């Protein structure tokens, strides 16, 4: 009954099963040449192995074949497990990279429709429309259902309210975008707030609970995310502390997004408000981006699976000497070349306080340089929406005209992606 030699098959099966159990419980990488002389030492070092003492004794003394099978299985399975983990990481990175590259596909850019409740209230108020949930929903539906928009728009950034809203016919906004092959994204930060002890400077909040929000937004259909940091130029600011704090937050956000299978758009915006020169703007933008990429490296963020949303290098809004379109393009490209690694798939510029036409002109001039390591694209909010709001005026009868305005503005920026935009296109029909 107890003669193990008479039951070699059962012993082998038992040994394999126990080997797998040991691997799962302790993930001990045992090698055949090391196991036999150190069995007792291993048991003493790992108390959890005590209940397997009889197995080792039987394996070594009574059934060498069973023991060899067990240890061989342990080594092989452990090796395969490591390969699977590595493969999973590679596949996830490749997946994020493919989404990032789709977002900056030639001729396309991103619509930033992630206005907070307060911001969209101001925009609707500018055309005499109350900011009710239904009016906000109707305006967003106008944008997201514009026929042919998918030809020029690769992605749309939602606000929390927006990703949960639907069209009048019952489709989610996510579904409406996907029908045009437009990728849904989501703003995940909680806004820039005054930074304690640093007058005039801000820090973006929202890291608490971000992992859970990322998981929820991923289930709702988002494939990428955005986090905006704000850097202000003024007397004795920005400070290194403010820049470093915002860079750290951006890096932590980016790491959590990639962990949750969302492509992070990293947006460190140096505001154009102020009297500063383009040279000062260049200096602060470079300093900010250097700090951001240092933090991204420290947090092991995959650069191939992210996008950068930087400001263009401009003269301050109140600066007496305003830089020309060509000067802005040259300064911006030179600044990006200094600090943005070639591994980043693309730069999706924000429009900031520029007019819709200025944003298009600057993007166009930058793309005329050619031979750059990244795609130069756009992620515009106001610069795409200003003519839409003006045409809509909150009236259902104006929806078609407003959608035409959106389509035309997107078309102009699509041309700018190739450096082929001209001023004549402002009055031309999109082709």
Active site positions, annotated: 267, 309
| Cα separation, 376 vs 364, whole angstroms | 9
| Cα separation, 246 vs 195, whole angstroms | 10
Question: What's the number of CA atoms in the CB half-sphere (13 Å) around residue 79?
Answer: 8
Give yes or no for a contact between 73 and 35, defined as CB atoms under 8 angstroms apart: no
| Cα separation, 38 vs 346, whole angstroms | 54
Give yes or no for a contact between 303 and 261, defined as CB atoms under 8 angstroms apart: no
How far from chain centre, in Å, is Cα 159? 15
Give yes or no for a contact between 184 and 222, defined as CB atoms under 8 angstroms apart: yes
| Cα separation, 359 vs 172, whole angstroms | 31
Give yes or no for a contact between 59 and 4, defined as CB atoms under 8 angstroms apart: no
Closest by CA position to 344, among listed 288, 301, 313? 301
Instruction: Give phi and psi for 71, each to the nearest 5.
Output: -70, -40
**Residue the block writes with tokens 């600066």:** 319
């Amino acid at each position: 009954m107890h003669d193990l030699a008479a039951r070699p098959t059962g012993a082998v099966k038992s040994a394999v099963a126990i080997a797998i159990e040991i691997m799962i419980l302790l993930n001990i990488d045992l090698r055949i040449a090391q196991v036999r002389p150190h069995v007792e030492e291993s048991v003493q070092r790992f108390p959890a192995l005590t209940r397997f003492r009889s197995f080792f004794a039987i394996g070594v003394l009574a059934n060498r074949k069973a023991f060899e099978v067990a240890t061989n299985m342990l080594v092989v399975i452990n090796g395969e497990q490591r390969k699977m983990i590595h493969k999973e990481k590679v596949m996830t990175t490749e997946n994020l990279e493919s989404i990032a590259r789709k977002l900056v596909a030639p001729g396309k850019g991103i619509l930033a429709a992630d206005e907070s409740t307060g911001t969209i209230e101001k925009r609707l108020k500018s055309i005499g429309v109350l900011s009710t949930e239904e009016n906000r929903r109707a305006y967003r539906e106008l944008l997201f259902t514009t026929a042919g928009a998918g030809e020029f728009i690769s992605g749309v950034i939602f606000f929390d309210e927006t990703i949960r809203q639907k069209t009048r016919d019952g489709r989610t906004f996510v579904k409406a975008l996907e029908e045009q092959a437009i990728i849904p994204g989501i703003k995940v930060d909680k806004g820039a707030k005054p930074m304690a002890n640093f007058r005039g400077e801000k820090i973006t909040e929202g890291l608490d609970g971000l992992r859970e929000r990322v998981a929820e937004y991923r289930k709702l259909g988002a494939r990428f995310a955005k986090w905006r940091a704000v850097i202000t130029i003024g007397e004795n600011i920005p400070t290194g502390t403010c820049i470093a704090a915002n860079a750290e937050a951006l890096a932590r956000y980016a790491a959590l997004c990639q962990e949750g299978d969302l492509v992070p758009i990293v947006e460190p915006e140096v505001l154009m408000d102020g009297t500063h020169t383009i040279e000062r703007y260049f200096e602060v933008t470079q300093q900010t981006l250097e700090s951001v990429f240092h933090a991204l490296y420290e947090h092991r963020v995959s650069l191939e699976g992210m996008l950068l949303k930087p400001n263009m290098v401009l003269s301050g809004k109140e600066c007496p000497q305003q830089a020309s379109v060509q000067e802005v393009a040259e300064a911006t490209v030179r600044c990006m070349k200094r600090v943005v690694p070639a591994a980043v798939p693309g730069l999706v510029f924000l429009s900031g306080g520029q007019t819709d036409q200025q944003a298009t002109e600057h993007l166009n001039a930058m793309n005329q340089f050619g031979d750059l390591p990244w795609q130069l694209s756009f992620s515009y909010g106001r610069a795409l929406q200003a003519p839409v709001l003006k045409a809509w005026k909150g009236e259902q009868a104006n929806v078609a005209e407003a959608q035409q305005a959106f389509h035309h503005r997107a078309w102009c920026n699509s041309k700018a992606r190739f450096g082929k935009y001209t001023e004549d296109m402002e009055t031309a029909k999109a082709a």
